[in-house]
Structure 1
Amino acid sequence: MDFLLAHEPLIRLAAFASVLGAVAVLEAALPRRRRGFGRWRRWPSNLGIVVLDTIVLRLVFPMAAVGVALALEGRGIGLLPWLGLPAVVAVPVAVVLLDLAIYLQHRVFHAVPLLWRLHRMHHADLDFDVTTGFRFHPGEILLSMAFKLVVVAALGAPAAAVLVFEVLLNAGSMFSHANLQLPGWLDRVLRLVVVTPDMHRVHHSVDRRETDSNFGFNLAIWDRVFGTYRPQPAAGHEGMTIGIEAFRDPAELRLDRMLTQPVRGERR
């Protein structure tokens, strides 16, 4: 575990690249929807925003969530140390509670107009594939990390749990945004536990009622518990429109346009 924590950035990069490559291959072999725009039209900007987000995040929060968890470990700070849970219990509990926190944060970003202006860049993608899973505005990434640090400290989450959660969050986001055709029976079984591409694609519908549903990234239970679960889009997965009304121009897929979207377009 000491080795894993010491090499946290490398582990996260390796996991990111591996999942991205695997899901991209599966998408090409088993696509769910016909692409409206080729990869060369969208991927440079979506991958570019990842590089920019990573640089900005490391400059503003050099310790990141795992670093904060390491700094607090052994000091008895937070809910889990107060409860005296052994590590074998504290780690999975912390992962589940962190996932719940991200679900709630996601709902807040939809509900608060100023936060929606940042988050809507994620929804403004005119196609839905693995790269949509990491297409977030730097402003949202910074606010999300600040919130995550508060939650990690409040929970007293073990550093190992934070590392596991970060890897799962990134991998889950890429998988749930995949343009991937899963067998119907497999999708039904998987979405009892985790968020599947068909489940999350509903969330990227242009229809506001569908946009405000299926907020989960990893665990599927939260949408059912809090009443935000919608099984399928009204128009079907092949017929539904991806994106938001404010940014339908293909020029909005450019990186420079993506970065200025929070200060342009209609209010929610």
Structure 2
Amino acid sequence: MGDWVMAQEPVIRLGFLFGVVGIMATLEVWRPRRPLSVSKPYRWINNGGIVMLDTLLVRVLFPAGAVGLALYVEAQGWGLFQVLDLPGWLVLLLCVVILDFIVWAQHVFFHAVPALWRLHRVHHADLDFDLTTGLRFHPLEILLSFALKAAAIVALGAPALAVLLFEVILSSMALFNHSNVRLPEGLDRWLRRFIVTPDFHRVHHSWHPNETNANFGFNLSCWDRLLGTYQAQPREGHDDMTIGINQFREPEWTRLDKLLVQPFVGPDHSYPINRRPEDAPAHRKDPS
């Protein structure tokens, strides 16, 4: 099974990636939620450029990837689920759920530590919200995220199939819930009981700090509900809300070269969770 998973990983991951991109891109044209302030081709070129850099960097530094690491962990017998006698299906389910919670907690952590927020704000500084936003992360954040995920895989002893399943779900859901798609209200209300929908996650991309620091989930919606970070709707409504943060609002900051230097420019500002409004620089007051 392990050899099959490793051999098929690129085909499975790329197949889902291009399939979900094609579906959501089509829906964004057919049922857009909001008009874009920056043209779609320009956004795709620059946001896509940083995705390519991220992918190349991870493949160069970690050629085996998360699935390869999971295979090694299985061979060594490391981790919690390698010593527990549980049915295979239950191990798969538990690994996916636990890894999803770890990603949720990591997301909160990147909002709480000012130095990490500098990296993560590249994702939040997008002036629009569409499927390419779900792939727009600074390369240093991608490397840190991979390291945290690797540590979780080793600690859990997550099987390769579970890691592959989780990776496919996470990337597909990130594209789905960052998409600029208008879902029927009834469907959104039903879906968000279980998973993160575009309207659910768009709140997280509001420029108001209390909304930026809400709705951290990428896949399961239960973590925000259970842990007190859920906000149902943006205060200004989805049509009138301002996307982004109150830095880097000039269109030039959407260029690839500017995205790469954003973490090293300006103050870390008032958005980190543990930063009180009075700690923010005077010229960067909390927009709330």
TM-score, length of structure 1 as denominator length = 0.98
Q: Is the 8 A contact 2:5 2:160 kept in 1?
A: no
Q: CA deviation at 1:74?
A: 4.5
Alignment of structure 1 residues 216-227 onto 2, 5 Å: 216-227=217-228
Asked if 1:263 corresponds to 2:264, the answer is: yes
Decide whether the 8 Å contact of 2:138 with 2:260 is kept in 1: yes
- Kindly provide the CA deviation profile for residues 30-52 of structure 1, in whole angstroms up to 9, marking residues without a partner as x: 01111111102211001111111
Deviation by residue 1:129-156 (Cα, 9 ceiling, x = unmatched): 0000000000000000000000000000
Unaligned runs of 5+ in 1: none
Kindly indicate whether residue 21 of structure 2 is the aligned counterpart of residue 24 of structure 1: no
Letter in 1 for 2:39: G
Provide the residue aligned with 2:201 in structure 1: 200
**Equivalent residue letter for 1:156:** G
Distance in 2 separating the partners of 1:120 and 1:219: 22
CA distance in structure 2 between the aligned counterparts of 1:87 and 1:180, rounded to whole angstroms: 36
Determine helix, strand or coil for the equivalent of 1:104. helix
Number of the residue aligned with 2:8: 7
| Number of corresponding residues | 268
The aligned amino acid for 1:112 is: V
Output the amino acid matched with 1:169.
L
Instruction: Give the 5 Å matches for 1:45-124.
Output: 45-124=46-125
How far apart in 2 are the matches of 1:254 and 1:180?
24
Deviations 1:90-146 (A, max 9, x none): 011100000000000000000001100000000011000000000000000000000
Moved more, 71-80 or 40-49: 71-80
What code does the residue aligned with 1:209 have? N
Give the match's secondary structure for 1:195: coil
Secondary structure, aligned partner of 1:49: helix
Q: Against the structure 1 CA distance between its residues 241 and 212, is the aligned structure 2 distance closer, same or farther, given a 3 Å change threshold?
A: same
Code of the aligned partner of 1:94: C
Q: Indicate the residue corresponding to 2:284 in structure 1.
A: none
The equivalent of 2:234 in structure 1 is 233
Deviation for aligned residue 1:7: 1.9
Q: Provide TM-score, normalisation by structure 2.
A: 0.91
SS in 1 for 2:238: coil
Root-mean-square deviation over aligned CA pairs: 1.0
CA–CA distance in structure 1, aligned partners of residues 23 and 41 of structure 2: 18
Matched residue, 1:164:
165
Cα distance in 2 for partners of 1:59, 1:204 equals 31
Residues 139-154 of structure 1 mapped to structure 2, 5 A cutoff = 139-154=140-155
Distance in 1, matches of 2:11 and 2:118, equals: 32
1:54 partner letter: T
Secondary structure (helix, strand or coil) at the match of 1:238 reads helix
| Structure 1 letter corresponding to 2:127 | L
Find the aligned partners of 1:116 and 1:88 in 2 and give their Cα distance. 37
Contact preservation (8 Å) 1:247, 1:265 = no
State the SS of the aligned residue for 2:170: helix
Cα distance in structure 2, aligned partners of 1:66 and 1:172: 19
Following the alignment from structure 1 to structure 2, what is the Cα–Cα distance between the partners of residues 87 and 6?
21
User: Residue 237 of structure 1 aligns to a residue in which SS?
Assistant: helix
Residues 173-212 of structure 1: matches in 2 within 5 Å?
A: 173-212=174-213
**How far apart, CA to CA, are the structure 2 residues paired with 1:253 and 1:267?**
18
Find the aligned partners of 2:138 and 2:261 in 1 and give their Cα distance: 9
For structure 1, which segment, 121-130 or 65-74, has the greater mean C-alpha deviation from structure 2 after superposition? 65-74
Shift, 1:82, TM fit: 2.4
Contact kept in structure 1, 2:135 and 2:174, CA below 8 Å = yes
CA contact (8 A) 1:246 1:266 kept: no
Q: Structure 2, unaligned stretches of length 5 or more?
A: 270-288
Query: 2:104 and 2:7 mapped to 1: Cα distance?
Result: 28
Contact kept, 8 Å, 1:202 with 1:232, in 2: the verdict is: yes
Q: Check the 8 A contact 1:4/1:11 in 2, yes or no.
A: no
